[in-house]
Amino acid sequence: MEREINRILTANDFYKVLGVPINSDFETINKKYEELVQRFKKEDLSNGENNSVFKKLQESYDCLSSTTLRKKYDLKLKQTKQKENQNNKSDVVITEEKEKKETELKSNKLTKKEKEKEKEQEKEKEKEKEQEKVKKNENEKEIKKVKPQRKKLILSVLLLVVISVFLLRNSFFDQNKYKYLVSLTPKESFQNPRTTSKMNVEYYVSPSFESDLSNKKEEMSLERIESWVENQHLKLLQKNCKEQLIIILKKLKKIKND
């Protein structure tokens, strides 16, 4: 019974107060009204509830039982429903617009983040390019430093090659031919120093040197002996040049490996 009272008191139109559909005829409206009145007469209600319930029932019955009043009421009811529908539609549109705005804001935020990421990536790429340029410049500087060293070494190698070729061309004398007469270093039997006329190479002769020259033993002559001495001197120089050449080649290999 309390639910029925709450339904009547909270109803917003007369059809809901009586509990009948909108397209019901007069007989159903009259029958429902009489049932509700008899039911609430039997119940013990307070004066306030009794007055408000019976007042709402009477108002709804008076309006719906009259054809003219019912037509006017139906028009008003339709208009209110249309307004409600329009309001609902406008609310839906507003909510859709809000959702669109929110999605746009989210997309703008995402695009901003993406742009920031792209800027960071571009900055990183520029840094990498700058580092590569710095490395290239350093490598070029090192190459420039190494190039003159290589040139010097190559020139020294060429000089040594030329000297060795020259020495090889002049090495036609037999190495042991005049060893018993002369020596490039002082020894026990070679104490008398002399110098060659062409290259001023110092050498030492044996005591029998002059007698051998005077006897012309083995077709000897002072010019041949001095040329032999100079040749031996050049051979010693050639050995020294070869040793220096080996050292220079080792240095070149180290520079290439570095």
DSSP sequence for 126-157: HHHHHHHHHHHHHHHHHHHHHHHHHHHHHHHH
Residue 214: pLDDT band with limits 50, 70, 90 = low
Q: Which domains does the chain have, with CATH numbers?
A: 2-92 (1.10.287.110), 170-257 (no CATH)
pLDDT at 99: 81
Cross-strand bridge partners of residue 25: none
Residue 110: pLDDT band with limits 50, 70, 90 = low
Strand order in the sheet with 192-195: 182-183, 202-205, 192-195
Crossing angle of helices 2-10/47-65, nearest 10°?
60
How confident is the model over 200-223, as a mean pLDDT? 71
pLDDT at 173: 44
pLDDT at 243: 83
DSSP β-ladder status, 202-205 and 192-195 = antiparallel
When the pLDDT of each residue in the chain is averaged and rounded to a whole number, the result is 77
Using DSSP, how many helices (H) and how many strands (E) does the chain show?
A: 7, 3
pLDDT at 82: 84
